[in-house]
């Protein structure tokens, strides 16, 4: 359970660092594609020398800036109100 929460927060942290490069809020970046990119980065990091990791991390942030979601459409109908 803790591992899943840690991984989720790691992906959200990387998304928040990539969002200024795309000039959008972090919630406008695709979580799914960010997760796939972070996983690919993690697998490739094992074979990378420590001196090139900062450059690869910058490339990852540039890649994540490409995963911008389109604007949400306005609702056609108002949200239903819940009666309590």
Is pLDDT of 68 > 80? yes
| pLDDT band at residue 84 under the 50/70/90 scheme | low
- Report pLDDT for 20: 92
What confidence tens digit (pLDDT) does each residue in 3-60 have?
888 889 989 999 999 999 989 999 899 999 999 999 998 888 888 888 888 888 888 9
Nearest one of 7, 82, 60 to 52, comparing CA atoms: 60
pTM of the model: 0.76
DSSP line for 60-73: HHHHHTT-BPPPPP
The CA distance from 1 to 46, in Å, is 24
- Report pLDDT for 48: 81
């Amino acid at each position: 359970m803790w591992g899943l929460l840690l991984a989720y927060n790691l992906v959200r942290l990387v998304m928040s660092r990539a969002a200024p490069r795309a000039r959008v809020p972090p919630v406008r970046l695709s979580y799914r594609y960010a997760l796939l990119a972070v996983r690919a980065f993690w697998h490739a990091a094992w074979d990378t020398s420590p001196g090139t990791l900062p450059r690869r991390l910058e490339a990852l942030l540039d890649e994540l800036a490409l995963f911008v979601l389109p604007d949400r459409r306005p609702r056609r109908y108002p949200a239903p109100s819940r009666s309590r």
